């Protein structure tokens, strides 16, 4: 809990000194709400109250762009078996130009992820949600974008940190063995490139790029190391299209120690369900790649508002397909799509997805949702947003080859804003041969989608609607495919600094065995200072 407050408070501190600036807005608030939840499959009815405190803030100047939305909530149980507790939810992004061509970038998120891949789907941020763990992640580092005569020079360094606290009840049978659970990791990523655009030195554009990644994870003393160098060329074909291609060399190694084993050969776990590391064992290789790679494709930019990049190649010893598409329909409307294929870890995927989000994002008004949930929507059509839920299907402790696609679209006109996002993801886990695996299986797949609408209702009212769906499947022993769904609607009425909100929603989880479904209602008040 304390760590989550510190992570997002760092960005809040960046906002506070600028509160007096003309283009800065900071709104701290307090809120109180009453919640009732009825389980529709014959379960109990729960009631609890929530006391919350938060801050919404932003700075928009020529050199500084910062946005923060953070909320702390503590619940007080009144009726039912639910325990009292608290939660942190929020998102912060910052881009600060500290010198000519040098930008400091940072961000943080506090949200929830699934605790156990075999458990219930994660459908929202209600206190009754099972199989949910508190997640904190943050990154920071400088970025260089400069010129050296006709050459461009670019570089970046990023430090990342990801932490997951112990989860709640997972909803899986007690007879199943516990899986290893992610704890925390720190990472360092460095890359630099130099080159010339088409026409600057040659008719074609050329560049050379090098990169290093190092990560240390607490689970089984896992160590991830990657180094690469590549050359690229851009060959213009028409005014709006070009052929692109590149080749390079890279080396990736993932190492980890063995868990302590019982006499029957089963991993020993601690009270949090994490494998206990055996410090006497050597660092075993979970994955190693050392060799050449290549890719080629087409780049199409018919206008400043549209860009398409499609590539096919060979990497990690297999064929690889990647791409991106962006389209800005208007100032506040746009589409963003990305296809990825990487070898990475849970901490790297969460941190990388966070760093790719826009500074300007839509602050949702869903009391049962999470500001840092599946998909984040941008306030600008040029940066429609992104989805960070590809890793939230389960907090995997093993490294993996991750492949998938994410897509976001946002549309706005006046006080009306609509958004839809989603994606698919597959992870093939990388573990030492003949050693008890941290994943418990070799692969998993997930699908997620969500949509929202915010509409004005009179001079002082707002109506918000949210839909969400998710699907998960994998070969982890004891797991079955699970489908999660949810829908809610909220009405907020503003009375000056006081806002009154009423929300109703339905949520469910479908899988082999008893299905989970619940109806939830909330009445709350918020006071802005």
- Find the range with the poorest average confidence among 38-47, 237-246, 395-404: 38-47
Provide DSSP, 361-379: B-----TTS-TTSSEEEEE
What is the model's pTM?
A: 0.90
pLDDT tens digits, 256-265:
998 898 888 7
Higher pLDDT, 264 or 48: 48
- Find the range with the poorest average confidence among 166-175, 181-190, 310-319: 166-175
pLDDT tens digits, 276-287:
899 999 999 999
- Per-residue pLDDT at 9: 45
- Per-residue pLDDT at 365: 60
- Per-residue pLDDT at 234: 97
Provide DSSP, 40-83: TTS--EEEEEEEEEEEEEEEE-SSEEEEEEEEEEEEEEEESSPP
Mean pLDDT of the chain: 87
Task: Give yes or no for residue 28 having a pLDDT over 80.
Answer: yes
- Per-residue pLDDT at 319: 96
Task: Give yes or no for residue 98 having a pLDDT over 50.
Answer: yes
Give the best-scoring range by mean pLDDT among 72-76, 310-314, 450-454: 310-314
- Per-residue pLDDT at 22: 55
Over its C-alpha atoms, the chain yields an Rg (Å, rounded) of: 24
Residue 38 CA to residue 82 CA, distance in Å, equals 12
Cβ count within 10 A of residue 481:
12
What number is the average pLDDT over the span 511-526?
85
Give the best-scoring range by mean pLDDT among 179-183, 234-238, 396-400, 413-417: 234-238
Task: Give yes or no for residue 32 having a pLDDT over 90.
Answer: yes
104: left (phi over 0), alpha (psi -120 to 50) or beta: beta
Q: Provide the percentage of residues in the chain whose pLDDT is more than 70.
A: 90
What number is the average pLDDT over the span 493-506?
94
> How remote is the C-alpha of 23 from its chain's centroid?
28
Q: 124 pLDDT band (50/70/90 cuts)?
A: low
* Token pair 């307090």: residue: 30
- Per-residue pLDDT at 508: 87
What number is the average pLDDT over the span 497-514?
87
Q: 126 pLDDT band (50/70/90 cuts)?
A: low
Q: Provide the percentage of residues in the chain whose pLDDT is more than 90.
A: 59
Domains in the chain and their CATH numbers?
A: 2-528 (2.40.170)
């Amino acid at each position: 809990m304390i760590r989550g407050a510190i992570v997002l408070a760092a960005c809040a501190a960046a906002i506070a000194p600028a509160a007096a600036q003309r283009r800065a807005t900071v709104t701290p608030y307090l809120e109180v709400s009453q919640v009732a939840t009825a389980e529709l499959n014959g379960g109990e009815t729960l009631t609890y109250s929530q006391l919350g405190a938060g801050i919404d803030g932003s700075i928009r100047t020529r050199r500084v762009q910062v946005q923060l939305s953070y909320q702390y909530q503590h619940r007080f149980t009144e009726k039912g078996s639910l325990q009292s507790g608290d939660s942190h939810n929020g998102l912060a992004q910052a881009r600060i130009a500290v010198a000519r061509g040098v930008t400091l970038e940072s961000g943080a998120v506090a949200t929830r992820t699934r605790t156990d891949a075999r458990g219930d789907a994660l459908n929202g941020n209600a206190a009754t949600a099972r199989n949910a763990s508190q997640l904190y992640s943050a990154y920071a580092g400088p970025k260089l974008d400069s010129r050296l005569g006709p050459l461009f020079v670019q570089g970046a360094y990023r430090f990342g940190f990801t932490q997951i606290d112990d989860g709640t009840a997972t909803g899986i049978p007690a007879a199943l063995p516990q899986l290893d659970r992610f704890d925390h990791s720190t990472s360092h990523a460095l890359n630099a490139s130099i080159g010339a655009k088409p026409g600057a030195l040659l008719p074609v554009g050329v560049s050379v790029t090098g990169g290093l990644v190092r990560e240390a994870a607490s689970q089984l003393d896992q160590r991830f190391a990657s180094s690469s160098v590549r050359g690229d060329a851009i060959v213009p074909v028409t005014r709006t299209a070009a052929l692109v291609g590149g080749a390079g060399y890279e080396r990736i190694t993932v190492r980890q120690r063995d868990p302590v084993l019982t006499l029957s050969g089963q991993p020993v776990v601690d009270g949090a369900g994490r494998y206990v590391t055996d410090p006497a064992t050597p660092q075993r290789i979970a994955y190693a790649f050392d060799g050449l790679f290549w890719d080629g494709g087409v780049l199409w930019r018919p206008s400043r508002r549209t860009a398409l990049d499609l590539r096919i190649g060979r990497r990690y010893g297999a064929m690889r397909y990647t791409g991106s598409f962006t389209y800005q329909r208007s100032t506040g409307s746009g589409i963003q799509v990305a296809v990825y294929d990487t070898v990475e870890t849970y901490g790297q995927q969460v941190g990388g997805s966070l760093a790719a989000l826009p500074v300007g994002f839509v602050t949702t008004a869903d009391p049962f949702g999470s500001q840092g949930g599946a998909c984040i929507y941008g306030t600008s059509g040029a940066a429609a947003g992104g989805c960070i839920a590809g890793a939230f299907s389960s907090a995997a402790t093993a490294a993996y080859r991750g492949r998938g696609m994410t897509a976001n679209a946002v549309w706005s006109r006046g006080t009306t804003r609509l958004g839809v996002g989603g994606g698919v993801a597959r992870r093939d886990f990388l573990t030492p041969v003949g050693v008890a695996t941290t994943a418990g299986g070799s692969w998993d797949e997930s699908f997620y989608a969500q949509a929202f609408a915010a509409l004005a209702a009179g001079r002082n009212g707002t109506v918000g609607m949210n839909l969400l769906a998710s699907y998960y499947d994998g070969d982890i022993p004891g797991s079955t495919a699970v489908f999660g769904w949810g829908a809610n609607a909220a009405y907020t009425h503003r009375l000056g600094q006081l806002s009154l909100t009423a929300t109703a929603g339905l949520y469910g989880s479908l899988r082999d065995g008893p299905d989970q479904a619940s109806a939830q209602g909330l009445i709350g008040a918020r006071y802005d200072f």
